[in-house]
Each structure stands twice: as structure tokens, then as C-alpha cells.
Structure 1
């Protein structure tokens, strides 16, 4: 009976993995197809759609906007998320673990619900600028990733080392820089990568906050897919998939995905 249950579990796991990977396994070959339409399996091999990205003005503008929003939101989240993680670990605020759980709530709330909430909040405070609203929303989405990775890095750090550095003559900022920063740097970098990718790829929140002049790359890809689809979209999607995989590999190398998930 136990053997049959293990076999059934393995089959179900394999089917789930196939279901998740199948869209990627279809999109990537299409990006190398010479056909002007989405055709699978491809009838040949060509890099024309990757070269065509340079001529797609709408995609390039959206790419630049997504890069700006992702970069700025990641920088802001690095500052706020790191300070929050240090405050929780040091016990500067009561109920630190409860606060940490609350801070991760944007990861548990459906993206569409969060997007509607952010849109309503922007209207209530009179925030009409699409760029500013997008930036604020992306900070809310990305900060939990920074906080979790920094918490993972601080899990085994002894803050007595900072006090020891001060006793040896370092000022408090110098002690933090020479002792604390090297210990949290892996989590800092991996969290930044996670946050950047999450912001760059975000669709369900961004769809409620963009306007005619402010469109992120995922929104632009969806619009172009409806209006004038061609395998250029598959080429852009393939590049995004590769970058995401590289970010995961770097995070696993620096911190470890299992350690991050345990926080």
C-alpha cells in the first residue's frame, strides 16, 4: 500500500510539473521560429524576433519604464525592509514575529485584490500620477522579499559582535559597516534580485495603475498580443524567463532557497 501511494504521489507530482512547465516549453521554441505567426512546433530556426526587439518602440519604452520602476522600488524596499528586519531581530518593537507576518501579507493577498486596494488608496489620497502610484504599489509588493531574505541572513548573526567592534574603537556606524553589512550582504543581494524580478514582472497590480502614457512591460506585451501579435512577444518572454531563472540561481547560491522559505 505504501509503495502504491508513493508511486501515485510521484505520478501526480510529474503531472503538476508538466502542467507548469508546458507553457514555457512552448513559448521558448516559438521565439526561434522563422514564421510571422505563432506556430508550434516551429518550422525552422531564426533569431529575427530577437533582433526585432530593437525596432519595437512600444516594447522598448515599456522596458525602460519597468526597469525604472523595478530599480527604484527595489532601492526603497532595500532601505525599509532591512531596517524592519533589524528592528524585528533586535526586539526593538513588541510582537516582532507578528509584525513580520503582517509585512508578508502582500504575498498572500491575491494580486487583483491588492491592485484594486492600491487604486482606491491612490484615489483617496489624491494621487493621480500613474508613475508615482506604480512606484508606491511596487514598493508594497517588493518589500516583503527584502525583509524575508535579510531576516534569513540575520537568523544566525550575533549582535554582540557589533558591541565588540565598538569596544575595540569603532564608531556605531563603522561597526555596522564592518561587522553587520558583510553578514547580511548575501541576503541583501538575493532579496534585491527577487524584488527586482517581482516588480519587473508584476501584472495584476500594475494593470489597475497604468495609464496611456505609463505602461509597464507586462501590460504592453498584453496590449500588443491583442492588437498585433507576433513572435517578438515570445522572444521578450523568453528573455524574462531566463533572467528569472538566473536570479533564482544567484539567490540559491547566496542564501539558499530552503533557508529563505523557512523564515
Structure 2
């Protein structure tokens, strides 16, 4: 390795480490601020304390918001796994013009600003007469979780041998049973990856949910915004740390079940 190569390698390492620090610093600051004993955001904390985590038990409406968010995330993820499987199979095996257009249409919500998608969904639901907040939120969350599932499964199906499905059908299985017994087990890492990302995307969604909630159906991010307007104390950092912990737990589950190396393939 020449001197020039060593210099460029060192520069690459410095840039890479700088990017990691830049991305991780807000997370570190948020977690550190959640353990402060001060009633305001102060770094470094004057004393380390769990007071803001204990205060979450007395937050009005927090448990209801968490339950709604978890419910929406679970239901929308399950529905997206079903719809994403059908959409991915149609694009991967279908023989019709415009397959790529269909794939692009399904992932298009990720290509547009969330606020634009939220306004569009709000107008659409009002036009068709859907005014129930829960069902509006559920459909909205399916719109944002389906792209994660569909694209992940479509990429995995590119290397899957569909002749195994055909062989299962010749042995007497119906097409749905062949999918359930052959395709899904073989693409388990893709299902897990897509499902985990979809769940996290639903739990953390703010720009779409803000247009579809009402006084009785507020997701956790919207409830956190309300707390921020009413009383901006470090309890918000404690809630954010909880969401960060959720993401870490999801990654650990993926690592223990299929391995991180398979999740990112």
C-alpha cells in the first residue's frame, strides 16, 4: 500500500467516524437528558435521576396513546405483510405490462413528503365519507408500512426458486397453502426485516397521523407533541428514550432470530 493509499484510507476512516458521531450524537443527548434531575433540559445534568421516567406513570393519556400506537402498528404490519406478499408475487411472477409501474406506485408514499401524503389522505377520506379516526389512522399507517414490506419481499423473491411452490402444488397443496408452507418459511428473514421496519415506521409516524387523529384517538408521537406544547420538560426525553430502546430491542430480536447480516441482504 502506497503512502497516498494510506492517506486516503485514513481520511475515509475519519469521515466515516465523523458521520457516525453526527448521527448518534442526538440520540446520546436525548438519552442523557432523560436522566437529569433538573426540571429543564440541562447538559451535563446536575445530578443523575430517574424522576422523569417515574413521572411517565402519572402522565395523563400516555398509556392510552401507547396502546393505540401499538395496536395500529401491529394491525397495520400484519395487513401489510399479507398485501405485500400478494403484491410482490404479482410483480415477481406476473406477466403483464406495467409491473414496474405497480412496484413504483406501492412505494410512492416513501418518495413524497409525509405532510403531503397526510393531507392527501385526509382529503380522500373526507371525500369518501370516512370520518372514524381509528380506521383513518389504520388505513394511513398501512399506506406507510406497505412499501417497507413489499420492497423487502420483492428483493428477496428475486433469488427465490418458485419451482418449489409449483412442486408443492403438484403434490396436492392449494396455491395459498403452498405459499404458506414453502414461500414464507424460505423468506422468513425478509418477512422479519420488512415487518420490523414496518412496525417501527408505524410507531414513530408523525406527519400522517397528525392529520387523522381526533381527541379520543391520539398516537404516541401526537401525544408527545401535545406534551411539548403544554409542559416541555425532560419527560419527553424519557419517552423518546423509550422509542429508542424499542428500536434497539427490535434489532436485537432480528439479530437473535435470523442475524443482522441476513436482515440487510
TM-score by shorter chain over 0.5: yes
Q: Does the CA-based 8 Å contact 1:186-1:254 persist in structure 2?
A: no
Q: Displacement of 1:10 after TM fit? A: 5.2
Secondary structure of 2:47's partner? Answer: coil
* Alignment partner, residue 237 of structure 2: 234
Q: Does 1:190 align with 2:193?
A: yes
Distance (whole Å) between structure 2 residues aligned to residue 147 and residue 249 of structure 1: 23
Is contact 2:35-2:49 (8 Å) kept? yes
TM-score, structure 2 normalization: 0.87
- Residues 1-263 of structure 1 mapped to structure 2, 5 A cutoff: 11-248=14-251, 250-251=253-254, 253=259, 256=262, 258-259=264-265
- Shift of residue 255 of structure 1? 6.8
In 1, are the aligned partners of 2:73 and 2:199 still within 8 Å (CA)? yes
User: Quick one: distance in 1 between partners of 2:128 and 2:177?
Assistant: 40
Structure 2 runs not aligned, ≥5 long: none
Q: Between 64-73 and 246-255, report the one with greater CA deviation.
A: 246-255
Extract unaligned runs of 5+ from structure 1. Answer: none
Q: Supply the distance in 2 between the matched residues of 1:167 and 1:135 (Cα, whole angstroms).
A: 38
Q: Distance in 2 between matches of 1:14 and 1:146?
A: 31
TM-score by length of 1: 0.88
CA contact (8 A) 1:142 1:195 kept: yes
Q: CA deviation at 1:240?
A: 0.4
